[in-house]
Amino acid sequence: MNSPSQKMRSVSSYTSAKGIAAIVGVGPKLGRSVACKFAHEGYTIAILSRDLDKLSQLADEIACEAKAQVFAIRIDCSDCKSVREAFEGVLSLGPVEVLVYNACESASYKPSNFMSIRPDSFQQSLAVSALGSFYCAQQVIPGMVERGRGTIIFSGSSASINGFAGYSELSCSKFAMRGLSQCLAKEFFASGIHVAHVVIDGAISTPKLVLYRSSKEEESTCTNSTCFMDPDAIAQSYWHIHTQDKRAWTQELDLRSPYQRF
């Protein structure tokens, strides 16, 4: 049975002339929506995550929905070798015009006592958000510099800009990724590479399941269901970043639900 990279090389001649949009950290919410948006806009899509079985199913769904070429590639963002091998497959498809880094180590919504955090758990969180984003950016930036264009978008959260009691692992890893985004934005602006960090301040729903309130009385309150952010709407903001005029590039964007209490 052919490996994913061998299969991709055999069909690389059929990829879009627009190039590749590589989405790292793809699940059924935001990653899927971003992949769908760029697929609908004519890009060949490479979606990457650790669970290849689930990823392959998502690739089939997106390809069918968007009538596009979508390739599933396994990656462990905390492992430099895994990232390098994964992007060998991605780059075999063609030039990466867009990199969206959406990977994050799973975190509990419940705060954890600082003294109960295991060192290996803390290291893994840093490895996925900070090292993983570093590894992936290094794979695509040389080609972007050579072509004089490209977009890199990092998915952050409210924990990227504020530390919260009980969320040391998440905040430290997200702070680091935000710092990387700012450094790359300044270093590679002149090379034509648009680097942006998106602060997603709120929980994200699955596509098409976001509930909207109709009355002003209801809009004045916020429940768990109505505060969920629409991943398709977030994906539209990612597309806007990618298509911005260079004379007015966004380097950080703050997104939240209108029903969320500030």
Q: Report if residue 157 sits inside a domain.
A: yes
Inside any domain, residue 123: yes
Percentage of residues of the chain with pLDDT beyond 70? 84
Whole-number pLDDT of residue 84: 98
Per-residue pLDDT at 228? 85
User: How large is the angle between the packed helices 30-40 and 231-243, nearest 10 degrees?
Assistant: 50
pLDDT tens digits along 229-253: 999 999 999 999 999 999 999 999 9
**Residue 77 resides in a domain:** yes
Q: What is the pLDDT of residue 7?
A: 40
CA-to-CA distance for 38 and 220, rounded, in angstroms?
34
8 Å CB contact between 74 and 48: yes
- The pLDDT score that the predictor gives to residue 111 is 83
Phi, psi of 58 (to 5 degrees): -65, -40
- Residue 3 counted as domain residue: no
Q: What is the pLDDT of residue 33?
A: 97
pLDDT digits (tens, 9 = 90+) for 146-187: 999 999 999 999 999 999 998 999 999 999 999 999 999 999
Which residues make Cβ contacts (< 8 Å) with residue 95, sequence separation at least 6?
A: 19, 20, 143, 147
Mean pLDDT of the chain: 87
pLDDT of residue 207: 60
Query: Is the pLDDT confidence value at 4 over 60?
Result: no
The per-residue pLDDT for 258 is 72
24 belongs to a structural domain: yes
Give every CB contact of residue 198 below 8 A, 6+ residues apart in sequence: 153, 154, 155, 156, 234, 237, 238, 241, 252, 253, 255
- Per the model's pLDDT, the better-predicted residue between 110 and 106 turns out to be 110
Residue 9 lies in a domain: no
**Number of neighbouring beta carbons within 10 Å of residue 117:** 14
* pLDDT tens column, 40-58: 999 999 999 999 999 999 9
Q: How many domains does the chain have?
A: 1
Of 91, 102, 14, 110, nearest to 55 (Cα)?
102
Q: What gap in Å lies between CA 38 and CA 233, rounded to an integer?
A: 13
CATH number at residue 237: 3.40.50.720
Statement: residue 121 has pLDDT above 50: yes
Query: From the CB of residue 11, how many other CB atoms can be counted at a distance below 10 Å?
Result: 12
Host domain of residue 193:
15-256
Q: What is the pLDDT of residue 226?
A: 53
With respect to residue 200, please indicate whether it lies within any of the assigned structural domains.
yes
At residue 259, what is the residue type? Answer: Y
- Note the pLDDT of residue 13: 45
Burial degree of 103 (CB within 10 A; 0-12, 13-18, 19+): buried
Nearest Cα to 122, choosing from 177, 169, 76?
169
Query: What local confidence, expressed as pLDDT, does residue 220 receive?
Result: 43
Dump pLDDT digits (tens) for 191-227: 999 999 999 998 888 765 444 443 344 444 455 555 7
How far apart are the C-alpha atoms of 35 and 16, rounded to whole Å? Answer: 14
Whether 138 has a pLDDT exceeding 80, the answer reads yes
Q: Do 249 and 196 meet the contact criterion of CB atoms below 8 Å apart?
A: yes
pLDDT of residue 62: 96
- Burial bucket for residue 214 (CB in 10 Å: 0-12, 13-18, 19+): exposed
Rounded mean pLDDT of 130-138? 97
Per-residue pLDDT reduced to its tens digit, 67-89 = 999 999 999 999 999 999 999 99
Residue 246: count of CB within 10 angstroms of its CB = 9
Q: Is residue 172 domain-resident?
A: yes
Other Cβ atoms less than 10 A from the Cβ of 121: the count is 14
pLDDT score recorded for residue 168: 92
